[in-house]
Amino acid sequence: MKNSNPPKISDFPQGNENIEYERFFFGKSWLKQLTSLKELNVPLFNVTFEPSCRNNWHTHSGGQILIAIGGKGLYQERGKKAQLMMPGDIIEIAPNLEHWHGAAPHDWFSHLAITCNPQNNQNIWMEPVSNEDYQQAFNSTNK
């Protein structure tokens, strides 16, 4: 059933379908905010991607940290080879670095995401990752 909820692939709650950002994603994703204490300045989310789902190329002016917790994912920086993300992997994304992330073609994927320096952070969304570029990114990981 296309619109069913995601399978349980980690110990973390998966939240609701990510409607707010769906225009920046190819495919369906689910979003759950995990922290709420504003003064800590560490907004923390769980993002779950259906197989083949990925977000557009984008940047965060404050940077971002991804913590893989379930399934199999992909991460790519502009001009670099894509890398697989498996549970336990951490990706540190410098401010203003162009990148995208999402699930592998045949696997669900969940990562925790931290918005760094949220006091001033702004996201810039760019073009989608084409099917051809996405497939090539995955193939280049040899997995």
Q: Contact residues for its own copies (CB under 8 A)?
A: 10-13, 34-37, 39-42, 44, 62-65, 67-69, 86-88, 90, 92, 94-95, 112, 114, 116-117
| Shortest Å, Cβ 106 to its own copies | 20
Q: In this complex, which beta carbon is closest to its own copies, that of residue 26 or of residue 101?
A: 101
Q: In this complex, which beta carbon is closest to its own copies, that of residue 27 or of residue 87?
A: 87
Spatial distance between the Cα atoms of 54 and 125, rounded to a whole number of angstroms: 13
DSSP 47-65: EEE-TT-EEPSEEETT-EE
Paired sense of beta strands 123-125 and 29-33, if any? unpaired
Distance of CA 99 to the CA centre of its chain: 10
Q: In this complex, which beta carbon is closest to its own copies, that of residue 113 or of residue 129?
A: 113
| Shortest Å, Cβ 87 to its own copies | 4
Spatial distance between the Cα atoms of 86 and 15, rounded to a whole number of angstroms: 21
| Shortest Å, Cβ 62 to its own copies | 8
Report whether 99 contacts 56 (CB < 8 A): no
Q: In this complex, which beta carbon is closest to its own copies, that of residue 19 or of residue 90?
A: 90
